[in-house]
Structure 1
Amino acid sequence: MTSVVISTTMADVEEVEVVVAHSERATLRVGDVFLKIDADQTRIDVEVEAMAMVPIPTPKVLWRKPPVLALAALPGTALGHLGEPSTASPAAWAAAGAAVRMVHDAPLPPWHGKSLDEIASRLDGECEWLLANDVLPADMVTRNRRMAETALRPWTPVFTHGDLQVDHVFVDGDEVTGVVDWSEASCGDALFDLAILTLGHEEHLGDVIAGAGTDVDRDLIHAWWSLRCLTNIRWLAEHGYGSPDEFPEVAVLKSRR
């Protein structure tokens, strides 16, 4: 969703930036402070606890008064944005891969992630919705669903960010300055994090893998790309992110062969 700027009469603040706003949550930026407002306090609980556990930089918690969590802004800029070319260096992408590996090597959080059955059930439901509403061509859904299903195999759980979009990783030059938005952190598949980070940025997959320093089955990364896109389109459409034809996720689905 496009950010907008709203005037404010607060004495020491010139403007409030709406970073994200939909029916579930909103994030506002006021100077160097981010205010996260979430209807589900469980997500905020997870975010605060996860940031305290991981061995990489995260935003400093300034204060919390439900339903609001105040976080300090991270230095640097986002590694990139979905649907746009990244201007970050290959070394910065490799540094992101190294940071992700550090998270995956950390002790597991005490809460569980989604089970294989839950993920498979959601994939089924979302594909049915896409077809029933003629959102995407049937052959595109079928092809990507077949790819996505290969990701649904047993894995060794690790500490995962759970929503490691490229916008959530901040860098300064070739160094990672921090990672934001930990509300989906859980035990999960390491390849899911790597897939979400490189979604729409396939040209940097090699850099991320090199930084992570581990053997990776790229076919499984591709499978997670398809699964992520298929299961996100309805949510984006229903939360005001525009027409599915314009979603970067649909462009990714079109590119999978």
Structure 2
Amino acid sequence: MEQVLRWVSEQTGSDVATVTPLRGGWTAEMRRVRLADGRDVVVRSFVTEFFRRHAEGLLEREAGMLRALADVDSIPAPRLLAVDSTGRYGEAPSLVMSMLPGAVDVHTDRSAQLAGQLVAIHRVQVDPRPREFQVWVSPGTVRVPAATNRPQVWTQAVEIIARELPPYDGVLLHRDFHPGNVLFDGDQVSGVVDWVETSWGPADLDVAHCSTALALLHGPEVGVRFADQYVAAGGQLSEDLRHWQVLDALGFAPDAEKVAGPWRELGRIDLTSGVLQDRLEHYLQQVL
């Protein structure tokens, strides 16, 4: 990535001293770059063919949100330093942002803090609005586990998402809000990262996405109660929350292996495919 690092040096006005890979993600290569002037920055680069094809939209969306959040005190987002969304100046589309304090914690249940931070995100007013949210799964693309003792759960869940989407009042969505995208410094949220999927849509959808992740990380009961914690923190949810919960959970089927890889890199080696499938099914069953 020499060309990308040269571009980083040009954009920051300082030579690159050291480069350290960051763990915990799967869509892009993330690096911590120590500059010769002592600053630390983070570089996101899309290197796989699929994400390179979509990099311009993803990185421009993230860059726009980081600009919009620069003066929003309630959202500890990184500062945008530079973006090359087409890879014109380096061999990979990339974005440079400030390094935030803290670290991801996938070991401790911090759902109460997550709920409070998510309420703050949904209260932010942005102009212009980001794009409308996208649905990531449909009845025809659901992958039911090959070996399941709860076929009726999957049948009922697919029937629910085959219905029309419920009406909703839109808010700003992070759209990928979960413990892997939130940094903690002690007991405090110190950063919210990965704004490439920012959208406009129902608050229920962000709550549902974080609920599924919590269920997979810490157990179905933790995922189910997250909605109550969000409401207790001042958030508002609709009567159609179940539809959004099921819609999100089915996107992780059959075993959530995609997100488990980064979590295992962070030490959660207990999250085997069997454990994840069992937790996902139990969570769906409780939601239904």
Residue 236 (structure 1) shift: 5.8
CA radius of gyration, larger in: 2
Give the Cα–Cα distance (whole angstroms) in 2 for the partners of residues 178 and 69 of structure 1.
17
Give the Cα–Cα distance (whole angstroms) in 1 for the partners of residues 17 and 236 of structure 2.
51
Contact 1:17 1:30 (8 Å CA) reproduced: no
The partner residue of 1:206 within 223, 228, 236 is 228
Report matched runs for 1:9-24 at 5 Å: 12-13=17-18, 15-21=20-26
Work out which structure has the larger RCO, using CA pairs closer than 8 Å and 6 or more positions apart in sequence. Answer: 1
Aligned residues: 230
Contact 1:20 1:28 (8 Å CA) reproduced: no
- Partner secondary structure for residue 153 of structure 1: coil
1:140 aligns with 2:153: yes
The partner residue of 1:33 within 34, 41, 57 is 41
The partner residue of 2:252 within 232, 235, 239 is 232
Give the Cα–Cα distance (whole angstroms) in 1 for the partners of residues 244 and 61 of structure 2.
23
Deviations 1:90-131 (A, max 9, x none): 4x245324323323xx1354442246xxx39x322222xx24
Amino acid in structure 1 at the alignment position of 2:140: G
Contact 2:122 2:172 (8 Å CA) reproduced: no
Deviations 1:193-247 (A, max 9, x none): 1222233233444332222x13424x64443232222123379657994998347
Determine the structure 1 residue equivalent to 2:49. Answer: none
Determine the structure 2 residue equivalent to 1:57. Answer: 76
Determine the structure 2 residue equivalent to 1:152. Answer: 165
Determine the structure 2 residue equivalent to 1:182. Answer: 195
- Partner secondary structure for residue 248 of structure 2: helix
Contact 1:196 1:225 (8 Å CA) reproduced: yes
Amino acid in structure 1 at the alignment position of 2:64: E
Give the Cα–Cα distance (whole angstroms) in 1 for the partners of residues 168 and 64 of structure 2.
24
Q: Normalization by structure 1: what TM-score?
A: 0.71
Identity of aligned residues (%): 20
Q: Normalization by structure 2: what TM-score?
A: 0.64
Stretches of structure 1 that go unaligned for 5 or more consecutive residues are 1-9
Give the Cα–Cα distance (whole angstroms) in 1 for the partners of residues 20 and 259 of structure 2.
25
Give the Cα–Cα distance (whole angstroms) in 1 for the partners of residues 111 and 253 of structure 2.
30
